[in-house]
Structure 1
Amino acid sequence: MSVLILTTGGTIDKLYFDALSEYQIGDSVVDRLLKTARVALPFRVQEVLRKDSLELTDDDRRTIADTVAAAPERRIVITHGTDTMTDTAQALAGRMQDDAAGKAIVLVGALAPARFAESDASFNLGMAFATAQVAGPGVWIAMNGTIFDGTKVRKDRTVNSFVASA
């Protein structure tokens, strides 16, 4: 079994140069985080996009879905910004009956950049990596210590956390 990690940008890969500057999406830190964690299971990292999730378009979501569908791996983790992660999860779920059927797809992000000392990025990525190995086919979101059905979750900005929805 091998896990594919698709990177799309988002907070997990943001760079801040100082308190007054704008952020940039930098090179992905995913490979480094997994190697630091001494992950022994084979994995492959592929950059798809390098965008803040608020800037993602329907075409970008199609590109993500096309990449998932074309991948030979059945276990896929997608790093993604948290603001529109649920929109991408819905778009991917729509493709599950077609090209991506039978794949476990786990979206994950961070509320603080991985480069920050007090970031949730490593924990979330580890959870997503583990979920991709054991979850059944479908679209999942791994955030805040919880695995959510990707079609039944929302980001609650008042508590800065993901919560299940109906």
Structure 2
Amino acid sequence: MTIQIFCVGGTIDKIYFDAKSKYEVGAPAIGWLLDELSIHFNYQVTSLMAKDSLDMTDADRAEIRKAVESTDSDRIVITHGTDTMPETARALHGIVGKTVVLTGALAPAIFRNSDAAFNVGGALAAVQSKPAGVYIVMNGEVFDGNLVRKDVAANRFVRLD
């Protein structure tokens, strides 16, 4: 089994240049995050785009869905910005026979106190253990991709009732 990892940008990949918080979405952070770990499974990283999730369009979500549907892997992790991650999860709903897990970070991976490595680890565990479906993994929780939203005020994800 090879886990397909698609990177689409977001905070996890942001690089800041100055104290005024000017940034750009850089190369996928997951490559160096995984290089630092003792990984014992096969994975492939593909960068689909480098966008802040607030800039994501329906066409971008269609491109992500096409990539998920087209890959031979039935285990897919997507690193994504957190602001519109639930919208992308819902756009992937209905893909049959594949386990898809979206994750990201509330602080860039290059920051010492980033949650990026923790979230990526959770996503990799979830993609190997959950049945087919679409999920979001953030901060130690696994959410059904259709039943989650980002609580911006609390800066965390919450289940929808």
TM-score bin, normalised by smaller chain: over 0.9
Unaligned ranges ≥5, structure 1: none
| Deviation for aligned residue 1:157 | 1.0
Match of 1:4 in 2: 4
| Deviation for aligned residue 1:18 | 1.4
Task: Give per-residue Cα distances to partners, 1:67-100, cap 9 Å, x unaligned.
Answer: 000000000000000000000000000xx2xxx3
- Equivalenced residue count is 161
* Counterparts of residues 10-25 of structure 1 (less than 5 Å): 10-25=10-25
Instruction: Please give the alpha-carbon distance, in whole angstroms, between the structure 2 residues aligned to 1:37 and 1:146.
Output: 21
Instruction: Please give the alpha-carbon distance, in whole angstroms, between the structure 2 residues aligned to 1:16 and 1:154.
Output: 26
Is 2:150 the partner of 1:155?
yes
Match of 1:53 in 2: 53
Secondary structure of the residue aligned to 1:76 is strand
Match of 1:141 in 2: 136
Match of 1:92 in 2: 92
Instruction: Please give the alpha-carbon distance, in whole angstroms, between the structure 1 residues aligned to 2:58 and 2:65.
Output: 10
Q: Percent identity?
A: 49
Match of 1:28 in 2: 28
| Deviation for aligned residue 1:110 | 0.2
Unaligned ranges ≥5, structure 2: none
Secondary structure of the residue aligned to 1:20 is coil
Task: Give per-residue Cα distances to partners, 1:42-76, cap 9 Å, x unaligned.
Answer: 00000011000000000000000000000000000
Task: Give per-residue Cα distances to partners, 1:6-54, cap 9 Å, x unaligned.
Answer: 0000000000011114110001111111121111100000001100000
Match of 1:114 in 2: 109
Is 2:38 the partner of 1:38?
yes
Instruction: Please give the alpha-carbon distance, in whole angstroms, between the structure 2 residues aligned to 1:29 and 1:159.
Output: 25
Secondary structure of the residue aligned to 1:46 is strand
| Deviation for aligned residue 1:162 | 0.3
RMSD: 0.7
Is 2:129 the partner of 1:105?
no
The two structures have a TM-score, normalised by structure 2, of 0.98
Instruction: Output the amino acid matched with 2:99.
Output: A
Task: Give per-residue Cα distances to partners, 1:107-164, cap 9 Å, x unaligned.
Answer: 0010000000000000000000110001100000000210000000010111100011
